Amino acid sequence: MGGRAPYPSDLSDEAWELIGPVIVSWKGRHTSVSDHQGAYDMREIVNAILCQARTGCQWRYLPHDLPPKSAVYYYFALWRDDGTAETVHDLMRWQVREMRRRHEDPTAVVLDSQTVRASTNAPKDTTGLDPGKRSPGRKRGIVTDVLGLIIAVVVVAASVHDNAIGITLLDKVAASAPTVTKAWVDAGFKNAVVEHGARLGIDVEVVQRAPGTRGFTPEPKRWVVEQTWGTLMLHRRLARDYEALPASSVAVVHWSMTDVMLHRLTRTATASWRDPPAARADDCDGSTP
């Protein structure tokens, strides 16, 4: 960290040992045109990406003692486009599953979608109005295993029906985790998703709310995906969709979940937004010191 004071979002030495080999190997294969390794430490680049995901700041508001916005976004975009962000995420998921004495790939998953407002820099053709929730913006669709770990992510306009999201998610599951044979969804996903799952060899079951239920009530089998949404919201960049490109939104989800899994693997707590009362007056953004 070059002697700077650490931020709460910084990778610990143990966490860097887990993802560092992947990033260093990538960097070794991507030297500059002049065949040098570049001016910025790769661990600091990842620290900057996690800092933004955790605090929700704009790129140009990254702390001055981290690499500059131009360098951080350069790597964020490269790793988004070449699949490195997803690769790092998937490697951590497999390690968490191994730690929990599970097979590398799941056999059962849960699907869900979430509507979020988009920022003004999001192109209009990537946003829309969710007619059910009467909310403009984008929809995130995720698939989790029974541990709440993410298997697949899509980000689309909020006007896209859950059926289309569910079908896309099932295709991603079939391609990346062919061991899956069971999926649970809520009532927002209709028969088209069930029928598409059957064609892929996945038994899709719609979990109905109990009659007369009001407000939020954890549903059998599906509660794990709700827990995942709540855990991801500790990363303020996901409080809205601030990204111009849906692909960037997917990458932020992957980096945020990678952060969560690194804490689990290193057996450290993910800091909450809420500070102890004595510490709040000194903290400008409400993050735990």
Q: Among 261, 283, 263, which Cα is nearest to 271's?
A: 263
104-242: CATH architecture: 2-Layer Sandwich (3.30)
CA 12 – CA 178 distance, rounded (Å): 34
Could you list the pLDDT tens digit for every one of the 289 residues in the chain? 667 899 999 999 999 999 999 999 999 988 765 555 568 999 999 999 999 999 999 999 999 999 999 999 999 999 999 999 999 999 999 999 999 999 999 999 999 999 999 998 899 999 999 988 788 899 999 999 999 999 999 999 999 999 999 999 999 999 999 999 999 999 889 899 999 999 999 999 999 876 666 655 666 688 999 999 999 999 999 999 999 999 999 999 999 999 999 999 999 876 555 555 554 444 444 444 3
Predicted TM-score (pTM) of this structure: 0.89
> By the 8 A CB rule, do 43 and 21 touch?
no
Which residue reads 């697949």 in tokens?
A: 152
> By the 8 A CB rule, do 71 and 45 touch?
yes
